[in-house]
């Protein structure tokens, strides 16, 4: 039983990931089965298995769970038809009656220290603020404020992670820009925003 478990894990890892026109920081990780196109991922971030991320900037310290979809192309709903047989590019259907240019895809911005739960869907062109949490299975169609917890379809704010004063102070601290030495020094205080902010005042 244990041998089969580890064999399955090895097979899962061996699939590799598909990364094109992207910059992944050497301290970050993309798990196997994931596909990233036109993505910038900053330091200490990761995305799990089976993610699809297109045309997106991801900040530092972000945690993206399995089966998350971010960005991606949209069909032109303002045209007579939304079918790809009427616009340029390679698609599942090979036939082309015309090759009109589609509207340019919008870039999606995931700021620093964002946690995105499993099976979340993030629409192209939105911004998810620093420290936000996206509940698993959420469908995010609008911008998310810093340190907000959102969930649902469509995703709505449930609450803020901290009070407004703490959020303001954390944003002002810009701790995600700290050097490794600074992070090592302040890390013991990360379990409490109050303790961390008190140390900064010292």
The Cα 137–Cα 7 span in angstroms is: 29
Whether 25 sits among the annotated catalytic residues: the reply is no
The number of beta carbons lying within 10 Å of the beta carbon of residue 9 is 10
Q: Encode burial over 100-117: b for 16+ CB neighbours within 10 A, e otherwise.
A: eeeeeeebbbbbbbbbbb
Instruction: For residue 54, give both structure tokens.
Output: 């297109």
Annotated catalytic residue within 25, 75, 100, 112: 75
**All residues at 6 or more sequence positions from 62 whose CB lies less than 8 Å from its CB, including other chains:** 41, 42, 45, 46, 110, 112, 113, 114, 115, 116
Give DSSP secondary structure letters for 49-75. TT-EEEEEEE-TT-EE-TT-EEE----
Distances (CA, A) of 76 to 79, 83, 86, 100, 120: 6, 8, 10, 11, 23
The residues with which 30 forms a beta bridge, in sequence order, are 47
Annotated active-site positions, please?
75
């Amino acid at each position: 039983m244990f041998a089969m478990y580890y064999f399955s894990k090895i097979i899962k890892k061996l699939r590799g990931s598909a990364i094109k026109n992207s910059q992944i920081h050497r301290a970050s990780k993309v798990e196997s089965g994931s596909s990233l196109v036109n993505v910038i991922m900053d330091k200490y971030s990761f995305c799990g298995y089976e993610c699809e991320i297109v045309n997106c900037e991801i900040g530092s310290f972000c945690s993206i769970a399995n089966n998350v979809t971010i960005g991606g192309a949209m069909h032109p709903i303002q045209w007579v038809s939304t079918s790809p047989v009427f616009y340029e590019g390679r698609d599942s259907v090979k036939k082309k009656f015309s090759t009109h240019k589609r509207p340019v895809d919008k870039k999606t911005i995931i700021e620093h220290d964002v946690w995105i739960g499993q099976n979340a869907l993030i629409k192209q062109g939105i911004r998810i603020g620093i420290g936000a949490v996206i509940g698993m299975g959420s469908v995010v169609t609008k911008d998310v404020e810093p340190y907000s917890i959102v969930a649902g379809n469509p995703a709505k704010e449930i609450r803020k992670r901290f009070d407004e004063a703490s959020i303001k102070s954390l944003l002002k601290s810009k701790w995600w820009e700290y050097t490794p030495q600074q992070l090592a020094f302040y890390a013991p205080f990360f379990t409490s925003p109050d303790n961390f902010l008190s140390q900064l005042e010292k």
